Amino acid sequence: MEGMMGPMGTIGNKCPPLWSNGPDFQSIYSFPNRKSVAGSGPRKVTQSPVTTGTSTFAMKFDGGVILAADTLGSYGSMAMFTDLQRVMKVNDQTCVVAGGDIADFQFLQSVIEQKQIDEDCRDDGLSLKPAALHSWLTRVMYNRRSKFDPLWNIYLVGGMQDGEPFLGYVNLQGTAFTETLIASGLGGEMAVPVMRKAMEVKGGLLNEQEARETITKCVRLGYLRDCRAWPKYHIATITKDGVKIDGPLMIDSDWEYAKGIEGY
- Active centre residues (catalytic): 46
| Residue 231 φ/ψ, nearest 5 degrees | -75, -15
CB 194 within 8 Å of CB 218: yes
In sequence order, the β-bridge partners of residue 235 are: 68, 246
Give CA–CA dist 16/9, Å, rounded: 8
Give CA–CA dist 89/115, Å, rounded: 13
- The angle subtended at Cα 246 by Cα 240 and Cα 247, nearest 5°, is 165
Closest CA to 152 of 178, 128, 184, 129: 184
Give CA–CA dist 129/164, Å, rounded: 11
Decide: helix, strand or coil at residue 93.
Answer: coil
